[in-house]
Structure 1
Amino acid sequence: MSEFSITLARFTEAHITGVTALYNDPAVTRQVLQMPFQSTEVWRKRLAMDDERLVKLVALHQGEVIGNLGLEQYSRIRRAHCGSLGMGVAVAWQGRGVGSMLLAAALDVADNWMNLRRVELTVYADNEAAIGLYRKFGFETEGLMRDYAVRDGRWVDTLAMARLR
């Protein structure tokens, strides 16, 4: 399917069920810091945190949520030039440009509307596809965080990555 059949939208109440399903997919849960078996109420509460420092996007194909990205500008005055992001893409859509679309849109907002100098993220050190995507958008590895999280009953490392503008 062409990327033109994919649209980006602000995450709204209408997308809660789809975002919940996205992050409850075991293959997606495995690559993000979300817990499995989250309820729609968890995502409804996150949506309720409406703040102009939070940009919440969904990627849609024929109305179905196939990706999600959150960008948050830090509220501390001395860190207000920085933001962090996290994202997830449905397994069937990985490697098909959805992550690139979400990231490009979020970085446009970060650069041209939030005036962020630094955008940072963490990614599992073995998630080569995501690391490649982030590098494509100018993110650089700043460090390795050992035993950062538990996944599949084992401690796993993550990379701290950032993009400076």
Structure 2
Amino acid sequence: MANQVPVLLVCGVSGSGKTTIGTLLAKRLDWVYAEADAFHPPANVAKMASGLPLTDADREPWLRAIGAFIDEATAEEHPAVVTCSALKRAYRDELRTGRPNVRFVFLDAPADLVGARLARRAGHFFPADLLASQYRDLEAPDPDEHVLDVPITADSTPDDVVADILAALG
């Protein structure tokens, strides 16, 4: 049944490891992978590249595009891993409503660790000085959301994080 096709949505602030973990998870599971950045309209990318944080209105078409990807993967019966910051509960609610097959994995990384990662990251449109706006917007998942919370530390390796996620998901 198509609505039972699993979709993992790896979320967290920029620099928390979503792309690395999402890619590795998809590879280990042999599932389709989709990078959230690819769903941003060009205006969003330009806005962030210029150092301006996105608003809820800016994020709306992006969230709809990610939702459409989830719906397509589900309809085609392709298990998938997709990344999305999903900083606010309202965003997560939008992505989960009518999609019981979606499971969120929250990469819970401290700001100092993520800031150091972003300072070393080259070639990405998201500037490190926007990180504070992401933490300001972040609404950590509540227990009733049934989000898998994965603590990220300086000692966390991508392989260890993926192993922890797979073990928690069974």
Question: TM-score scaled by structure 2?
Answer: 0.32
Specify which structure has the higher proportion of strand.
1
Question: TM-score scaled by structure 1?
Answer: 0.33
